[in-house]
Structure 1
């Protein structure tokens, strides 16, 4: 197998796995909750543990890959992710499942940090766009098939089959990468690894997310203090682990990154909430719920490339800001749901949300990458991934915060359906407010200078 084909295949499978894992796990959560008889907050941690681990370690592993070799980190990441997936299929209790999800997240971080970077290293500039486009298609395929595949497997083979399927695909990618992905890429070989900065970053993220999730003011304050320390420390480093200096000096880059953070924080947990709503309140089985939820990523897959094409011709901030406004509208509509909301309305809201995200994501990424010099492309790409992971984790943390305040540590049974709907409405209202602020962050970035 040619090097280019091997890189495209392994990166594509890896890029398919991570979104498939996330969207399919959301569908399986009610079945997991029923088997282990766990409360709503613990159920949220099964989804959040993976994201938190991936967010904490993706930035450090990205830097390690630049220094030690991207293939090395990528292959080890596939191994760790696959092992974590298989172990997640056999836990005797929820606590062990959460621990194995953390292991999955560590492997996922290593994959996030290297897969696209390997494609960029292997393909020449004139072929790079096509390769990254195919890779992006794999991401959207994973998002689209996650609810369908997750619903089918959960309904017919049980929720544990989801993790077995992901582990099998991971091991397949591992074999292909180990045998056919020849060579190594380490553009920063010999440079110093910022261990202290990495440790501060990971601790900061943990304390902030755990603090929000468990409503711990002490943890939130500690996380905020560490965030300030991190900014000051990283700004003084010659080889920082995160592009703090770029964020502070480039207004377009920083506001575009903030807009991405707010968009992911406002939208990611929608799939989690609607999966529970459709199966608990509406009484649909996992397979049917998956078919309903797929309406959002399908719309995203259709319109994201079109939005990217438009942003090459119209100012990206205009297209992205319009997408943020559409997303805000969809979240306002979600904030009005109740037990009697028609299924046609739910599907319409999901499609509107998918359209808004599609209009925002590609142009916003275009704005971020167009706002920096070519030598900063790697740092900018890593920042985009970081904003996505941190935003997704924060989104789940906000939901669990609302759950802890409204529902408490109880299993979601019919007597608590009213409180669950109230929690969902509050969460959607918070998300709509975040997205509304994101409109102004998106508009305030200014015009992008074309190269």
Structure 2
């Protein structure tokens, strides 16, 4: 007797629960960094590698792992990632020192990187194409819920000085996710299951991306001219070039390079890279500004983002349906979302001052971001996934996840240099203590140049917002050229459009 597959809605629930756990973990650790540093008597620069090590893995691995899921079955690969993530979370919670914690955070990042492409690929396979927008929208809404729950839950746990629970909380969540995966996610057997894995290609791709992302991450701290940064980035470029050469020669390549001649796929991922650099790359600086300059507590800092993340949770399912319905007009909505994102940053650049408050200085920008992010995320994801065949859904999911994560790291590095350049140049005549405080978004003690430092911080933060607006502009240009028909439609005059339509009718034998 043939066993019926689980309901697609139960499959969606199982993957969304796993994704919620990942997003809670992604943002919960940020709040705990100072407490972890105090407990281990370790400087913040070292403790920050608990985030950087995790980020490196989720930036490097999803593309290759997504392809492995296409070959071996998304359910099996997703389960493996879930087990690794949960076990590493337990080890992080019991870590006796900062070194052990960083090591197991890297392992935890590997588990998350294995899970990430599987969540979207499983959903795409479970639902018919006509419902992909709805499923992707619900999936994105759950991600937004993690954006809310992570900082708030982290603030509650850390205030009780029980930072270890930010990792141990993943154990019961991981067990529930494991049970739901076994019960509700069907196994997939593709025709490509017998295709051998290109291990050399996977190694070159992973190590090349690791070197490149490590260099970009270090650039945020050391600058782009640092020897380690330059050497790491050059090594990454060389290894990725060798990966391309290898893929052109092997019989069963890890990734079909013809995919990168697909304009919709490439432009969609590149546009999402610039969008992520602006939106997610700027996230740490908004938190630093709120907590260090405006003296918000960790919990207050987390709650400050709730208006934006609340809109993301509510609107992402709706925008997913809208993106599915829009079809040919989807790019128009995407451009509108990117434009609104850019305007939100320009608003901060033009209006924020030392006299501003949260309500009139940052809240309007947060609300605009809350409206824009669901539109951009749903439309981009649907465009990229629909640009490839179903058998390449894991690869597409991994690529867009990689674009988001590497874009975020790139944004953090670039924005850090923008901020430090302005602060150090405007405070060059101030004391070392004033400059050191300003570098951390802090105002110096009384008696120092408080007014000058405050002005410099606000101006530098405005430059961060302006840079983010320019990054959104880059994404707009890429999306504009995503489809030739869209570019031609926008640039053509009405007479040209009528001539083109007449020519098309003649070519098809119409009168």
The TM-score bracket by the shorter chain reads 0.7 to 0.9
1:197-236, Cα deviation, whole Å (9 max, x unpaired): 2111112222122212223212122222223333343345
Query: Does the aligned pair in 2 maintain the 1:11–1:119 contact within 8 Å?
Result: yes
The equivalent residue for 1:264 is: 276
**Within the alignment, does 1:349 sit opposite 2:365 as a pair?**
yes
**Within the alignment, does 1:217 sit opposite 2:230 as a pair?**
yes
**Within the alignment, does 1:331 sit opposite 2:378 as a pair?**
no
The equivalent residue for 2:195 is: 191
Residues 145-156 of structure 1 correspond to what in structure 2 (within 5 A)?
Answer: 145-156=149-160
The equivalent residue for 1:438 is: 475
Superposed displacement of residue 254, structure 1? 1.3
Superposed displacement of residue 412, structure 1? 7.4
Superposed displacement of residue 290, structure 1? 1.2
> Residues of 1 paired with 2:472 and 2:46: CA distance?
27
Superposed displacement of residue 98, structure 1? 2.5
Backbone CA RMSD of aligned residues: 3.4
Superposed displacement of residue 296, structure 1? 1.9
Query: Does the aligned pair in 2 maintain the 1:30–1:276 contact within 8 Å?
Result: no
Residue range with higher mean Cα deviation, 86-95 or 261-270: 86-95
Query: Does the aligned pair in 2 maintain the 1:209–1:397 contact within 8 Å?
Result: no
- What SS does the corresponding residue of 1:189 show, helix, strand or coil? helix
Superposed displacement of residue 399, structure 1? 4.9
Give the 3 Å change call, closer, same or farther, for CA 296–239 of structure 1 in structure 2.
Answer: farther
Query: Does the aligned pair in 1 maintain the 2:148–2:309 contact within 8 Å?
Result: yes
Superposed displacement of residue 18, structure 1? 1.4
**Consecutive unaligned residues in structure 2, runs of 5 or more:** 220-228, 425-434, 446-452, 487-511
Query: How many residue pairs end up in the alignment?
Result: 447
Give the 3 Å change call, closer, same or farther, for CA 276–67 of structure 1 in structure 2.
Answer: same
Give the 3 Å change call, closer, same or farther, for CA 122–257 of structure 1 in structure 2.
Answer: closer
Residues 28-427 of structure 1 correspond to what in structure 2 (within 5 A)?
Answer: 28-36=32-40, 41-42=45-46, 44-122=48-126, 132-156=136-160, 158-178=162-182, 180=183, 184-187=187-190, 188-215=192-219, 216-247=229-260, 249-311=261-323, 312-313=325-326, 315-335=329-349, 337=352, 340-344=355-359, 345-373=361-389, 376-399=392-415, 414-415=443-444, 424-427=461-464
> Residues of 1 paired with 2:45 and 2:415: CA distance?
9
Query: Does the aligned pair in 1 maintain the 2:320–2:379 contact within 8 Å?
Result: yes
Residue range with higher mean Cα deviation, 274-283 or 289-298: 274-283
Superposed displacement of residue 102, structure 1? 0.9
Query: Does the aligned pair in 1 maintain the 2:116–2:401 contact within 8 Å?
Result: yes
Tell me the TM-score normalized by structure 1. 0.86
1:385-434, Cα deviation, whole Å (9 max, x unpaired): 22223223333344565688768899776549868767655544433322
Residue range with higher mean Cα deviation, 119-128 or 342-351: 119-128
> Residues of 1 paired with 2:436 and 2:199: CA distance?
38
> Residues of 2 paired with 1:320 and 1:86: CA distance?
40
- What SS does the corresponding residue of 1:283 show, helix, strand or coil? coil
> Residues of 2 paired with 1:310 and 1:126: CA distance?
12
Give the 3 Å change call, closer, same or farther, for CA 145–75 of structure 1 in structure 2.
Answer: same
1:369-398, Cα deviation, whole Å (9 max, x unpaired): 344455554443332222223223333344
Query: Does the aligned pair in 2 maintain the 1:262–1:391 contact within 8 Å?
Result: yes
> Residues of 1 paired with 2:40 and 2:440: CA distance?
10
Query: Does the aligned pair in 2 maintain the 1:235–1:245 contact within 8 Å?
Result: no
> Residues of 2 paired with 1:370 and 1:99: CA distance?
37
> Residues of 2 paired with 1:400 and 1:200: CA distance?
29
Query: Does the aligned pair in 1 maintain the 2:353–2:458 contact within 8 Å?
Result: yes
Superposed displacement of residue 361, structure 1? 1.7
Tell me the TM-score normalized by structure 2. 0.76
> Residues of 2 paired with 1:45 and 1:335: CA distance?
30
- Structure showing greater Rg: 2
> Residues of 1 paired with 2:442 and 2:39: CA distance?
13
- What SS does the corresponding residue of 2:193 show, helix, strand or coil? coil
Residue range with higher mean Cα deviation, 138-147 or 23-32: 23-32
Give the 3 Å change call, closer, same or farther, for CA 339–315 of structure 1 in structure 2.
Answer: same
1:137-193, Cα deviation, whole Å (9 max, x unpaired): 322222232232222222245332222212321132124434x35863242211111
1:232-264, Cα deviation, whole Å (9 max, x unpaired): 4334555433453211x2222211111011111
Query: Does the aligned pair in 2 maintain the 1:38–1:411 contact within 8 Å?
Result: no
- What SS does the corresponding residue of 2:102 show, helix, strand or coil? helix
- What SS does the corresponding residue of 1:113 show, helix, strand or coil? helix
Query: Does the aligned pair in 2 maintain the 1:316–1:366 contact within 8 Å?
Result: no
Query: Does the aligned pair in 1 maintain the 2:66–2:397 contact within 8 Å?
Result: no
1:58-110, Cα deviation, whole Å (9 max, x unpaired): 22322333333333322221111112222223334444332222111100011
> Residues of 2 paired with 1:100 and 1:408: CA distance?
32
Query: Does the aligned pair in 2 maintain the 1:48–1:393 contact within 8 Å?
Result: no
Give the 3 Å change call, closer, same or farther, for CA 113–80 of structure 1 in structure 2.
Answer: same
> Residues of 2 paired with 1:42 and 1:112: CA distance?
27
> Residues of 2 paired with 1:260 and 1:189: CA distance?
30
Query: Does the aligned pair in 1 maintain the 2:94–2:164 contact within 8 Å?
Result: yes
> Residues of 1 paired with 2:459 and 2:100: CA distance?
30
